[in-house]
Chains A and B, each alone.
Chain A
């Protein structure tokens, strides 16, 4: 197990190197000039030239890449063109808010999706299954900003139970998480339902019945753990993506996270920030993949990595 983790971390370094190369190339493929953006519309050519020189943008591309990688190894992601602040610092200042929001959204999805998955599997092809499944499908296709505004209107304005946006502690986390949870839970529900139905047809479930186990025992002790594997896979991809920022939720609830940072950076061609957030996303995705592989071992004893 330990050697597996070490090997995987080694592979992670290679993946990250590849990603840094890719983002670097991608950015040079975009025909936009950051110096012009920084300098503004009316700057003289000389000013722009000077800015280019200061940013090292007049050096040949390979040299720029080497510079970039050299800084990267020292944990330096460069300086934002727009904020004129180190990218690491910018990301760090937003990371806390994003982790909070991501976990809130994720937990809301799980808390809604998993019980509904079990419920619809148990009631499969009965009216209650059809009703819940239809509602889940509708919820899944609701626009996030619309649902967010509705919730804010009723539970922030009419009944001022929760703050109207902003990140200010636990209460401010409820509505954004609920909004995301409602729209995202359907995927978990459907995954778990189909996986449960498949598991319920397995021979070992028949064995449990033949032992005299009741329906609840069969669901919770025998079926659920076997049915969770695909849910874990999706769940880890999901939390990885959430941690790199939830742009729509952040925008709707005025939540100052990484999503907004990345979004603005793209709009303003703030290359160091774009590269920093992309790299962070990649690290998160790779780390959560590794974490998933480790969780599998605890859920399914057949999985071993020696």
Chain B
């Protein structure tokens, strides 16, 4: 099956003070049509930065290199105006903060109409009708009325539905969802995930789902990329990652989720913190926290080792 998105050797550097610091290093992954890829990792590991770089939404002055291929185009090489035709049209995006992601002074309907206007040239009644249709599709009751309301009149869950309506208004090939449910309470979380899954399967939309919740990954994804300190350390199908995790970091993450079924195990969060951009460890970036670290790990960074088809892990233990 063809790849909708292919990220190759992505590297992102931020200017902090006078120097550039690497937030993402040599990240490669791909998403096939209709597939959901989970990107997981602790806070600060570079998930949002990676997703924003695909949309080229990072602040000017950020150095990005590598390749972000959407179909046969390298998004990093497009002009700003070509890129605008992709944003919201071929790639839709939803964010972690439903409470602040909608413009407080514009009516809901108008915020959806804007995408239709920008990419489909729809105006007036046809655009308004399509917006109402979108609201109905994302499960908003009384869509005609809600279209006339302002964001502050809606709950967080409703606002996230509106964000999904905006992101899906032009039937994008790829939906990037950056922790879409983190800010919502559990029952609403499940509804939003259901909604995304249904919409995506209806239109064969691929999803890049960013989360730090492995429960969400298990429920939603086909494949998983585990990120640590700006690098992908393990990649595989959901089955491979959950049943046969290879990288010590992945194992640590899996140990830290509470198990509801079976015997009760104590929660084991991984000790220590994600290193900051300013002092990345030499060698394997996980070494300071790794229970299996070898001498070699502290001096040289491991490459990927193929575990089986589709499954690879970046750790010296596999050597």
| B115 and A212 contacting across the interface, CB-CB below 8 Å | yes
Determine the residue in chain B with the shortest Cβ distance to A209: B57
Count of residues in A whose CB is under 8 Å from the partner chain: 19
B181: chain A residues within 8 A (beta carbon): none
With A212-B115, A213-B118 given, is the CB distance from A301 to B150 under 8 Å? yes
For chain A, residues 189 to 239, give those with C-beta under 8 angstroms from any C-beta of chain B.
Answer: 202-204, 206-214, 222, 225-226
B97 contacts chain A at the CB level, 8 A cutoff: yes
A299 contacts chain B at the CB level, 8 A cutoff: yes
B234 contacts chain A at the CB level, 8 A cutoff: no
A-binding segment of B1-9, B101-109, B210-218, B249-257:
B101-109
With A210-B87, A210-B88 given, is the CB distance from A204 to B100 under 8 Å? yes
A50 contacts chain B at the CB level, 8 A cutoff: no
With A203-B95, A206-B101, A225-B105 given, is the CB distance from A212 to B163 under 8 Å? no
Bound CA span A181–B119, Å: 42
B22 contacts chain A at the CB level, 8 A cutoff: no
| A213 and B114 contacting across the interface, CB-CB below 8 Å | yes
| A299 and B102 contacting across the interface, CB-CB below 8 Å | no
| B150 and A212 contacting across the interface, CB-CB below 8 Å | no
A210: chain B residues within 8 A (beta carbon): 55, 57, 87-88, 92-93, 95, 167
Beta-carbon contacts of B54-96 to A below 8 Å, as 1s and 0s? 0101000000000000000000000001001111110011010
A58 contacts chain B at the CB level, 8 A cutoff: no
With A210-B87, A211-B87 given, is the CB distance from A299 to B105 under 8 Å? yes
| B118 and A212 contacting across the interface, CB-CB below 8 Å | yes
Bound CA span A226–B105, Å: 7
A67 contacts chain B at the CB level, 8 A cutoff: no
With A213-B114, A213-B118 given, is the CB distance from A207 to B95 under 8 Å? yes
A211: chain B residues within 8 A (beta carbon): 87-88, 114-115, 118, 166
| A212 and B86 contacting across the interface, CB-CB below 8 Å | yes
Determine the residue in chain B with the shortest Cβ distance to A201: B59
Bound CA span A207–B55, Å: 11
A202: chain B residues within 8 A (beta carbon): 100
For chain A, residues 223 to 271, give those with C-beta under 8 angstroms from any C-beta of chain B.
Answer: 225-226
Determine the residue in chain A with the shortest Cβ distance to B166: A211
A203: chain B residues within 8 A (beta carbon): 95, 97, 100-101
List residues of chain A with CB under 8 Å of any chain B CB: 202-204, 206-214, 222, 225-226, 299-302
**A-B contacts, 6 listed (Cβ < 8 Å):** A203-B95, A209-B87, A210-B92, A211-B87, A212-B119, A301-B104
List residues of chain B with CB under 8 Å of any chain A CB: 55, 57, 81, 84-89, 92-93, 95, 97, 100-106, 114-115, 118-119, 150, 152, 163, 166-167
